[in-house]
Amino acid sequence: MPAVKTDNRGLRLVSRYAALSLVAVVFIFPLLFMVMSSLKPSAQLLLDTKSLRAFLPVGDLSLANYSDAFARAPIGVFVFNSVLVTGVTVLLCLFVCSLAAFAFVFIEWSGKAVVFSILLATLIIPYETIFIPLLLMASQLPWIGGDGFELGWLNTYRVQIVPFIADALSIFLFVQFFKDLPKELIEASRVEGASWWTIYRRVVMPLSGPVIATAAILKFLFMYNQYLWPLMVVQDESIRPVMVGLGYFTDQLNVPWGEVMAYLTIITVPVLGFYLSLQRVFISSVASTGVKG
Amino acid sequence: MADVKLKGLRKSYGSVDVIKGVDIEIKDGEFVVFVGPSGCGKSTLLRMISGLETISGGTLEIGSRVVNKVPASERGIAMVFQSYAIFPHMTVRENIAFGLTIAKVPKAEKDAKVAEAARILQMEHLLDRRPSQLSGGQRQRVAIGRAITRNPEVFLFDEPLSNLDAALRLDMRMEIGRLHRSLGATMIYVTHDQVEAMTLADKIVVLKDGLVQQIGTPMELYHRPENLFVAGFLGAPSMNFFDVDIAMTDAATARVASQVVAEFEAPVWREGVGKGAKATLGIRPQDLRPVAEGGILSGTVNLIERLGTETVVDVRLADGHRVLVSLNEDRVFEPGESIQLAFDPGKAHLFAPASEQDLQAVQNAT
């Protein structure tokens, strides 16, 4: 009988790998299509979409689309802006949301449950519904900068960053993770004389790698893909992010698909780099928090 | 080092009273064990002393200072938890030095204290390891090391050996005993394991339902339990109980008998005994011995457990009553065999009549 068991196990393993490979292929094909198309002239690109050639490096391949794309739009500026806005927002979000979650989980204060319920309720409100009031508010907010006192935040980096620092989803992720940390670690720290700040910095955060990675990746994707909000609040080309930059390629009758694909390939690189650097921690986090990414 | 005094200490969660007015005096350098069944409030009481739980009523003094509102870190205590509570991302050295690092103690002094703690606990070779590379016993030693470096007035242990296997538990128990002798510090230790309580304690506090049942040395509690609960809780196997009729012969002795207990004379010293014609008789399994004839109890052998140096016999009396006998030797009995049991009447315990509730509590606890 053991032989049969081994066979079954082998079969199960093969079918599992087959299923996983299929899923991987489904996810990889669009990327493959994008990269291959970016190397082909627009006419050939459109013809190839009728066959599997669309996914293969065949035909007249060149980097011409890339040089054309760079000529058409200040891509370097857009990528820099997006990486800056996204990076700063992710860092501030991790700090602020983890602090909020720390207060929700470890510190006793009256009204905690009510505040947390209200916070969770905000999860169901899509950003698009609050963009108009947010725009009005941002246009009237005061700021004291290098030029002294000014009114209105439009056309700045900060208007792209500040509204997105705190968010309910990130706080929720941190809360769920913190709840699973052994309570005795916090109590032992208190007996040892640690302040809340010390407990946060020296005990809780060093143990929170998985949830930090998860929250960072989710926030990074959300911020990097921002389109509507920057379109509303930023007019100056020098502070525009990548997604708004896509407009440089589409506002005409003949869309230069090759250049579009080249542009998309370039702006995908930072996302892939960020994800791959955190992938290992992210996967362990999805497994341990039970939250799907 | 310091005395610890609990005066009318109370703890309530909303309308539920968990600790219902506890008075305990712990002398400087004493090793006191809080023992009792699950849910008796022993851990809550320890956490109140540590400052991790607020105090609802009464006063708590450590070293003649009332500390009801003093934060945990300023009470002069150190605590060792059941789950060790050592930081997995720090090395053993960093774990032991944690409190000192927070207090910004100079490096030389910190290193000296860590080295001293490591020497006392014989773990100098483990200092650069991470907790994941340690066994359960070694982890608990790290937790104790962290407590030692605080140089506390009072050590608090919350079931520190419960997560260890039997052999390791014995080693660590001896180690904690040795530590107490070498440091001479006041130690308060919570456990549900009566062997730990009996072997480690200078003084045992037996708790049930948030109330102190008895305070005394291990031998006082074993030989002179004040009530049924303490009698049933301490000692393994648990004490045998019988409902009996009594008649006082003089101020300190009574004639005892029932349907299954042959008449004999026993000493009376507990309050409430002798006021009526009924009482509860308690006999420890170790005080019973089989005799050929003239026994006070007679029944048939039901089950035998031979442990090599000890034999535990489960005997059923005529009315179905179960009696456990523990013999300090290896003896062979046959199930169904008739047996007569005798005991030294001086070792009989007479209690005021037990209510159903009393007996239930004893059964649940053992």
B45-92 pLDDT, tens per residue?
999 999 999 999 999 999 989 999 999 999 999 999 988 899 999 999
Q: Which of B72, B146, B150 sits opposite A190 (nearest CB)?
A: B72
Do residue A187 and residue B52 have CB atoms under 8 angstroms apart? Answer: yes
* Of B65-74, B249-258, B303-312, minimum mean pLDDT range: B249-258
Residue B34: name the closest of B164, B211, B162 by CA. Answer: B211
Report the residue of A186, A191, A197 to disrupt the B interface, i.e. the one with the largest count of B CBs within 10 Å.
Answer: A191
Do residue A193 and residue B99 have CB atoms under 8 angstroms apart? Answer: yes
Instruction: Tell me the pLDDT tens digit for each residue of A14-41.
Output: 999 999 999 998 989 999 999 999 999 9
For the ranges A20-34, A45-59, B23-37, B124-138, the one whose mean pLDDT is highest: B23-37
Beta bridge partners of B204: B33, B216
Q: Which residues of A touch B51 (CB under 8 A)?
A: 190-191
Beta bridge partners of B31: B187
Q: How confident is the model at residue A223 (pLDDT cuts 50, 70, 90)?
A: very high
B312 touches chain A (CB under 8 A): no
> Rounded to a whole number, what is the distance in Å from the CA of B86 to chain A's nearest CA?
7
B184 SS3 class? coil
B190-217 average pLDDT score? 94
A187 touches chain B (CB under 8 A): yes
If 0-12 CB within 10 Å is exposed, 13-18 middle and 19+ buried, where does residue B145 land? buried
E strand or H helix that includes residue B57: strand B57-62
Whether the ω angle into residue B237 lies within 30 degrees of 0, i.e. cis, is: yes
Residue that has been written with the tokens 């362990």 in this structure: A284
Q: Which residues of B touch A182 (CB under 8 A)?
A: 83, 85
- The whole-number pLDDT of residue A45 equals 87
pLDDT at A291 over 50: no
Q: Are B4 and B64 in contact (CB under 8 A)?
A: no
pLDDT at A6 over 80: no
- The whole-number pLDDT of residue A164 equals 94
> Rounded to a whole number, what is the distance in Å from the CA of B79 to chain A's nearest CA?
7
How many Å apart are CA B227 and CA B209, to the nearest integer?
Answer: 15
A207 touches chain B (CB under 8 A): yes
- The whole-number pLDDT of residue B358 equals 63
Q: Which residues of A touch B83 (CB under 8 A)?
A: 182, 184
B284-312 average pLDDT score? 93
B35-71 burial code (b ≥16 CB/10 A, e <16): bbbeebbbbbbbbbbbbbbebeebebbbbeeebeeee
> Rounded to a whole number, what is the distance in Å from the CA of B67 to chain A's nearest CA?
14
pLDDT at A286 over 70: no
Do residue B102 and residue A190 have CB atoms under 8 angstroms apart? Answer: no
Residue that has been written with the tokens 């079969």 in this structure: A11
> Rounded to a whole number, what is the distance in Å from the CA of A286 to chain B's nearest CA?
21
Contacts of B65 (CB under 8 A, 6+ apart): none
Phi and psi torsions of B76, nearest 5°: 75, 30
Share of chain B above pLDDT 90, in %: 65
Q: Are B25 and B5 in contact (CB under 8 A)?
A: yes
How many other CB atoms are found less than 10 A from the CB of residue B182?
Answer: 9
Q: Which residues of A touch B71 (CB under 8 A)?
A: 190
Residue that has been written with the tokens 């109370």 in this structure: B10
Q: Which of A184, A206, A207 sits opposite B85 (nearest CB)?
A: A184
CA separation (Å) from B240 to A188, A239, B182, B321, B340?
A: 42, 86, 40, 10, 15
Q: Which residues of B touch A192 (CB under 8 A)?
A: 73, 98-99, 102, 146, 150
Do residue A192 and residue B146 have CB atoms under 8 angstroms apart? Answer: yes
B52 touches chain A (CB under 8 A): yes
Span B233-351 CATH architecture:
Beta Barrel (2.40)
Q: Which residues of B touch A198 (CB under 8 A)?
A: 102
Domain with CATH 2.40.50.140 in chain B: 233-351
Do residue A187 and residue B150 have CB atoms under 8 angstroms apart? Answer: no
Q: Which of B50, B72, B87 sits opposite A203 (nearest CB)?
A: B87
Do residue B73 and residue A194 have CB atoms under 8 angstroms apart? Answer: yes
Instruction: Tell me the pLDDT tens digit for each residue of A56-94.
Output: 888 888 999 999 999 999 999 999 999 999 999 999 999
Q: Are B239 and B223 in contact (CB under 8 A)?
A: no
B281-307 average pLDDT score? 93
Do residue B52 and residue A185 have CB atoms under 8 angstroms apart? Answer: no
Domain with CATH 3.40.50.300 in chain B: 4-232
How many Å apart are CA B7 and CA B59, to the nearest integer?
Answer: 5
Q: Which of B73, B89, B143 sits opposite A193 (nearest CB)?
A: B73
Do residue B85 and residue A190 have CB atoms under 8 angstroms apart? Answer: no
* Of B201-210, B218-227, B242-251, B348-357, minimum mean pLDDT range: B348-357
pLDDT at A112 over 70: yes
- The whole-number pLDDT of residue B162 equals 87
A144 SS3 class? strand
B72 touches chain A (CB under 8 A): yes
How many Å apart are CA A220 and CA A205, to the nearest integer?
Answer: 19
Do residue B87 and residue A185 have CB atoms under 8 angstroms apart? Answer: yes
Q: Which of B73, B82, B88 sits opposite A192 (nearest CB)?
A: B73
Q: Which residues of B touch A206 (CB under 8 A)?
A: 89
| Total count of residues recorded for chain B | 366
B87 touches chain A (CB under 8 A): yes
Do residue B85 and residue A182 have CB atoms under 8 angstroms apart? Answer: yes
Minimum Cα–Cα distance from A184: chain B residue? B85
Do residue A190 and residue B73 have CB atoms under 8 angstroms apart? Answer: yes
Q: Which of B71, B89, B98 sits opposite A206 (nearest CB)?
A: B89
Q: Which two tokens stand for residue B233?
A: 């809780």
Confirm or reject CATH 3.40.50.10860 for domain B4-232, answering yes or no: no
- The whole-number pLDDT of residue A1 equals 45
- The whole-number pLDDT of residue A143 equals 86
Q: What is the ipTM of this complex?
A: 0.82
Minimum Cα–Cα distance from A195: chain B residue? B102
Minimum Cα–Cα distance from B100: chain A residue? A192
> Rounded to a whole number, what is the distance in Å from the CA of B217 to chain A's nearest CA?
30
